[in-house]
Amino acid sequence: MTDEKLLHKAGRGDEAAFLALYERHRDTVFRFAYRMLGSAALAEEVTHDCFLSLVRRPDAFDPARAALRTYLYAAVRNLSAKHLRRHGGEFPFEDLEDEPEVEEREGPLGRLLDAELSEEVRKAVAELPDLQREVVVLVEFEELSLSETAAVVGADVGTVKSRLHRARRRLRRALAFYFKSDRGVARAGKVGR
C-alpha cells in the first residue's frame, strides 16, 4: 500500500495504517533527527512529534509537491531547528551520545581506529554550521539526491551544492590528520592487518 493511502487511512483513525507508516519511516526519521540533535532522547522526541503532527494534520502533506519521505525530512528539520533555537543549539561533545555501531574492521587495532575515526567524524559534523550540517547529513548519510535535499531544506539545488561544498571543505580540514598518507587511519589500518 502506498504512503498516501496509508496516510489517508491513518488520518481517519486507522491505527494499523498509522503503525505501518510509522514502521516504514521511523528509522529514517530518527536517524536524521539524531544526527541533527546529537541526542537519542531528543531524536526520539522529535520523531514522535513528527509522526503526531502528520496524523493530526494529514492534509498538510501534498503528494503532488513531494514524496512523504521528503516531507518527513522537512518536518524533522523544522522540529530540530525549533528545538535548537529554544535551547541555544549548543551541545558539548561530552553530551553527544554514541551513534549505533556500523560494521567494524577485524582485530583490536582496526576496531580502535574505526571507533576513533567515527568519533572524530561525528564531532566534525556536529561542529558544522546548522545549514551545512543538515545538507551533509541528508546527502552523505541519508543518501538523498541534491534535488530531494533542496526540497527538504527549502532551497534551490545550487544553494545545496554550495553548502555541501563548504561543509566538505571544513570536514576535510578538520579530519586531515586521519587521511594523510604517512600517519592516521591509512597507515595504521595497514599495520593492524
Write a three-state SS string for 100-142: CCCCCCCCHHHHHHHHHHHHHHHHHHHHCCHHHHHHHHHHHHC
| Entry pTM | 0.65
Per CATH, domain 3-86 is 1.20.1050.10 = no
**pLDDT surpassing 80 at residue 99:** no
Distance CA 41, CA 90 (A): 16
The string of pLDDT tens digits covering residues 132-188 is 999 999 999 888 999 999 999 999 999 999 999 999 999 989 888 776 644 444 433
Domain boundaries, the chain: 3-86, 101-191
| Amino acid occupying residue 26 | R
Tell me if 91 sits within 8 A of 39, measured CB to CB. yes
Alpha-carbon torsion 127, 128, 131, 134, what sign?
A: negative
Question: Of 138, 143, 162, which is closest to residue 76 (Cα–Cα)?
Answer: 138
Top CATH class, 101-191: mainly alpha
| Amino acid occupying residue 61 | F
Tally: H helices and E strands in the chain: 9, 0
Provide the CA 42 distance to its chain's centre, in angstroms.
Answer: 13
The string of pLDDT tens digits covering residues 13-43 is 888 999 999 999 999 999 999 988 888 899 9
**pLDDT surpassing 70 at residue 114:** no
